[in-house]
């Protein structure tokens, strides 16, 4: 049982798996909704914090890497910037987990000059809200079919 919960934690920390996939899979797999939601929330948040804290170094590394490879911004980054322009930081944080992922939403928010603390507060709120939504919706959905 420990390994299954550890996989939920690790899965939530991995970009593109995140809470939207891990929480429903964990609950459908028979794990406790409470622990799945909590561990997925912590796992996802723990990987978003270093992005905000170490953003300056990450930005320099990414710019150097993109320049070497001649890369253009990804579709997710472009979509994140459009969300930012339309809804600001709260919209980016709240829509990010379902549209572009929490890690990219954090990076976009930081790259547009937002203070680290504001990004962290909004991303924490967003990850918490979406963890609850995915967890409760999955649990209620399962109850309807059982």
Q: What is the pLDDT of residues 82-140, one digit of tens each?
A: 887 888 889 989 998 888 889 989 988 888 888 899 999 999 999 999 999 999 999 98
Which residue did the predictor score with more confidence, 92 or 70? 92
Q: Mapping DSSP to helix (H, G, I), strand (E, B) and coil, where does residue 12 land?
A: helix
* Domain range for 124: 2-145
Which residue did the predictor score with more confidence, 137 or 145? 137
Query: How would you class 70 by CB atoms within 10 Å of its CB: exposed for 0-12, middle for 13-18, buried for 19 or more?
Result: exposed
Predicted local confidence at residue 24, as pLDDT: 94
Query: Average pLDDT, whole number, for the chain?
Result: 87
DSSP label of 14: S
Predicted local confidence at residue 7, as pLDDT: 94
Predicted local confidence at residue 145, as pLDDT: 54
Predicted local confidence at residue 8, as pLDDT: 95
Predicted local confidence at residue 124, as pLDDT: 95
Predicted local confidence at residue 130, as pLDDT: 95
CA distance 140 to 46: 27
- Please say if the pLDDT value at position 25 is more than 90: yes
Total structural domains in the chain? 1
- Residue 127 C-alpha from the chain's centroid: 6
**Mean of the pLDDT values across residues 18-33?**
93
In the chain, pLDDT over 90 holds for what percent of residues? 46
CA distance 101 to 89: 14
- Please say if the pLDDT value at position 80 is more than 90: no
């Amino acid at each position: 049982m420990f390994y299954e919960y550890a996989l939920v934690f690790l899965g939530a920390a991995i970009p593109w798996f995140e809470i939207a996939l891990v929480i429903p899979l964990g609950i459908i797999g028979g794990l406790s909704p409470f622990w799945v939601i909590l561990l997925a929330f912590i796992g996802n948040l723990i990987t978003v914090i270093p992005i905000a804290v170490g953003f300056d170094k990450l930005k320099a590394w990414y710019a150097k890497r993109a320049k070497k490879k001649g890369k253009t911004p990804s579709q997710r980054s472009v979509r994140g910037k459009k969300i930012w322009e339309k809804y600001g930081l709260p919209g980016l944080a709240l829509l990010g987990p379902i549209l572009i992922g929490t890690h990219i939403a954090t990076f976009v928010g930081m790259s547009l000059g937002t203070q680290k603390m504001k990004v962290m507060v909004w991303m924490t709120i967003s990850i918490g809200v979406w963890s609850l939504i995915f967890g409760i919706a999955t649990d209620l959905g399962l109850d309807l079919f059982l």
